[in-house]
Structure 1
Amino acid sequence: MTTVTLGPLKVHTVGGADRKGGGDGPAILLCHGFGAPGDDLVPLARVIDAGEGVRWFFPEAPLTVNLGYGMSGRAWWPLDLALLQQQMMEGHARDLAQETPPALAEARAALEACIEALVTHHGVRRDRLLVGGFSQGAMVTTEVTLHAEEPFAGLAVLSGSILSADRWRVASKRTAPGLKVLMTHGRADPILPFPSADALRALLTDAGAEVDWLPHAGQHEIPREALLRLASFARGCFLSATG
């Protein structure tokens, strides 16, 4: 693994011809969730068999957030942790469909600049680049994908959620038709409730995306079955890009 700066973001790179993200193979970019240290998804590159020569890129979110008790993590946009904890304790479902986080535009711009640097300096073709993430990372990559000028090979939404639904519905009319999407979500997810993911699935499907939908019995997590599905999904996306 090596760590580079692409656009405004620090990015951990593995795989490829030199095991450091080099070569000219297809690429996968995965974004972590809220509060993660920034490199927690990197080990997935060792357990997901996405094909020979695949390059992996793991951006760190631009913000540092205080998690309490002297701990900090990275975030694509801030969250009200006290409110989130209260909602979980009371069993209230979070409805993010009409929310547009104030920092979403900045997060999108940062990730778009990172991807542009991948294209310019690492020879990554957008039609051979699978983007996605976990939780908040899944939401920011959905935001970028639905507003992209050129299509990606696919989108992987791991425990994500619908967000800013009216904007996404409008944007999806242009970018979703034919888009390959993998969505996985736990039916018992206490943080991003299952219906929020199902609403995103419906929005994308209605707009013409080809959604591979994997609900599972878990909570806010990436279970083994999701890793296996991501491997086969990535292979299919890259095969289509070369076909």
Structure 2
Amino acid sequence: MYTHQKHVITQGKPLSETGKALIMIHGRGATAQSILSLADHLPVEDFSLFAPQATNHSWYPYSFMAPIEQNQPALDSALAQVHDLVKAIAQEGISSQNIYLLGFSQGACLTAEYAARKAQQFGGLFLFTGGLIGPQVTTSRYKGTFEGTPVLITTGDPDPHVPVSRVEETAQIMEAQGAVVTKKIYKGRPHTISPEELDLARPLLAGSPEE
């Protein structure tokens, strides 16, 4: 078992110029650089991009639906990595409404779990093939309100790692926390991010920053 060494790759203009941050969280076996490559397909020229790198290329060792304790201490360390990054961006004077989070697969699960535990008005959440973590969804872990945060959550049906039922539960819980959720399930789609999903993400990123 492991805890994560802090390692974040940044891309784009500095926060002092953009006033907007997009945190991009990679999947199992992948890299910060690989998730940053999505920026080539999204309207993020006016964002500062941040991509944390998981130690051992994995945020936690087992399935996201394994008992929580089996994924410790890596899971708590991963959640702390995301929280510390959000906090550091906020300390640069960036409001939560101008902080966006995006994850794929294991990274989408980590993003969902972090955001639901620390719900606030984010700029937007992009959960590409992921859902809340644990064998069952334990609503007592999820605090705060999203105050209308737009959330895009997508998956394939079937997906080898993420059951459609967990995506649906995640959407319901986030809606109950005040998010405006767009859920899309693609029949027969492989475990990847499709052009159609990026098309759905673009308008949520293209809005102007709020003061």
- 1:186 partnered with 2:156: yes
Structure 2 counterparts to residues 83-122 of structure 1, below 5 A: 96=65, 99-100=67-68, 101-102=71-72, 103-120=74-91, 122=92
Q: In the alignment, what sits opposite 2:53?
A: 60
In structure 1, the residue corresponding to 2:97 is in which secondary structure?
helix
1:43 matches 2:37: yes
Q: Distance in 1 between matches of 2:193 and 2:96?
A: 25
Matched ranges for 1:126-137 at <5 A: 126-137=96-107
The reply on whether 1:221 has 2:195 as its aligned counterpart is no
Identity %: 26
Q: What are the ranges of 5 or more consecutive residues in structure 2 without an aligned counterpart?
A: none
**Which residue number corresponds to residue 12 of structure 2?**
15
Question: What secondary structure does 1:41 align onto?
Answer: helix
How far, CA to CA, are the matches of 2:53 and 2:6 in structure 1? 6
Counterpart residue identity of residue 15, structure 1: G
Contact map agreement 2:112 2:131 (CA 8 A) in 1 = no
Higher alpha-carbon Rg: 1
Does structure 1 retain, via aligned residues, the 8 Å contact 2:118–2:143? no
Hey, what's the Cα distance between the residues in 2 that align with 1:123 and 1:174?
Answer: 21
Deviation of 1:136 after TM superposition, in Å, equals: 1.1
What is the letter of the counterpart of residue 220 of structure 1?
Answer: H
Instruction: Quote the offset at 1:207 in angstroms.
Output: 3.7
Contact 1:132–1:142, Cα closer than 8 Å, also in 2:
no
Residue matched to 1:78: 61
Alpha-carbon distance change, 182 to 149 in structure 1, aligned in 2, over 3 angstroms = closer
SS of residue matched to 1:205: helix
2:128 is aligned, of 154, 158, 164, to 158
Between the aligned partners of 2:146 and 2:50, the Cα distance in structure 1 is 23
Pair 1:159–1:13, CA change in 2 (3 A): same
Aligned residues: 203
- Following superposition, the deviation at residue 216 of structure 1 comes to 1.9
Kept in 1, the 8 Å contact 2:145–2:178? The answer is no
* 1:138-191 C-alpha deviation (Å, 9 max, x unpaired): 111222212227532221111002323543x23446324533211111113112
Give the Cα–Cα distance (whole angstroms) in 1 for the partners of residues 113 and 13 of structure 2.
27
Q: 1:188 to 1:166 in 2, by over 3 A?
A: closer
TM-score by length of 1: 0.73
Given residue 119 of structure 1, which amino acid in structure 2 is its aligned partner? A
- 8 Å CA contact 1:182–1:213 kept in 2: the answer is yes
Could you say what the CA RMSD is over the residues aligned between the two structures, in angstroms?
2.6
CA contact (8 A) 2:23 2:51 kept: yes
Instruction: From the superposition, tell whether residues 133 and 172 of structure 1 become closer, same or farther in structure 2 (CA, over 3 Å).
Output: same
Task: Tell me if the contact between 2:102 and 2:127 (Cα under 8 Å) persists in the aligned partners.
Answer: yes
* Aligned equivalent of 1:200, options 164, 170, 178: 170
- 1:132–1:141 contact (8 Å) kept in structure 2: yes
Relative to 1, partners in 2 of residues 1:173 and 1:181: Cα closer, same or farther, differing over 3 Å?
A: same
**What's 1:242 paired with?**
210
Q: Which residue of 1 aligns with 2:108?
A: 138
Shift of 1:116: 1.9
